[in-house]
Chain A
């Protein structure tokens, strides 16, 4: 079982819709989680961090963490074509290194 798992997608949503990206993790001791956006040919860019159960909002982005279910999600409201990218979920696992999922490719259709 991978430590951090994501559906590879692509997830296709129309412009203006809410995109919902999901991630599960296997290590119950994981504490901190991050969402990175990666455009094709570019390096990962940090967009959200979440450290405690519940929701954290930043502009059009909301990160959700449920430690009981070992589940992390990212919601993007009012999706724009410029949001089309691969979204990487990452968490600090038991060996205290940042472990990444393989990413979910999001396509926002104009």
Chain B
């Protein structure tokens, strides 16, 4: 079974530029998550989708971050404009359903903002 796919793996941009990350979850997984992981910390949830609907985006900085999962499968996370403090690894995860289900992570995208 293929795992969670993410691209790109690495991205370097200047502050105030925009960037987009793509994620394709494990086949059949209805729930998709985007996390931000800063060095030395655990992943922090940014947004979670159930099919193509948003379940929780309470920790998403909506003035600069946006995410969509239009057809209930793959998803895109965008940052516009980027700030230095956005430098982190962006992880996508998926699970069969909401709450209590095991989540499986993709390889992540390492973003460096200069």
Q: What is A's interface to B at a CB cutoff of 8 Å?
A: 4, 8, 31-32, 34, 36, 42-46, 49, 51, 88, 90, 92, 95-103
A46-B41 in contact (CB<8A): no
B8 in the interface, Cβ–Cβ < 8 Å? Answer: no
- Please tell me if B87 contacts chain A, counting CB pairs below 8 Å: no
Chain A residues with CB under 8 Å of B105's CB are: 36, 43-46
When A43-B105, A43-B106 are in contact, do A51 and B100 touch as well, CB less than 8 Å?
Answer: yes
Residues of B in contact (CB 8 Å), total 22
A80: shortest Cβ distance to chain B, in Å?
A: 23
Complex CA distance for A42 and B44, rounded to whole angstroms: 16
Q: Which residues of A contact B56 (CB under 8 A)?
A: 95-97
Residues of B within 8 A of A46 (CB): 102-105
Q: In the complex, are the beta carbons of A97 and B43 less than 8 A apart?
A: no
Closest to A89 in B: B42
Residue of B nearest to A2 (CB): B42
Q: In the complex, are the beta carbons of A102 and B41 less than 8 A apart?
A: yes
Contact with A along B33-44 (1 / 0, CB 8 A): 100000011111
Q: Is B75 an interface residue (CB 8 A)?
A: no
Is the beta-carbon distance between B48 and A97 smaller than 8 angstroms?
A: yes
Cβ contact of A100, chosen from B42, B98, B102, cutoff 8 A:
B42
Docked complex Cα distance between A51 and B101 (Å): 10
Complex: A92 Cα to B100 Cα, angstroms: 7
Q: With A and B bound together, what is the CA distance between A101 and B42 in angstroms?
A: 6
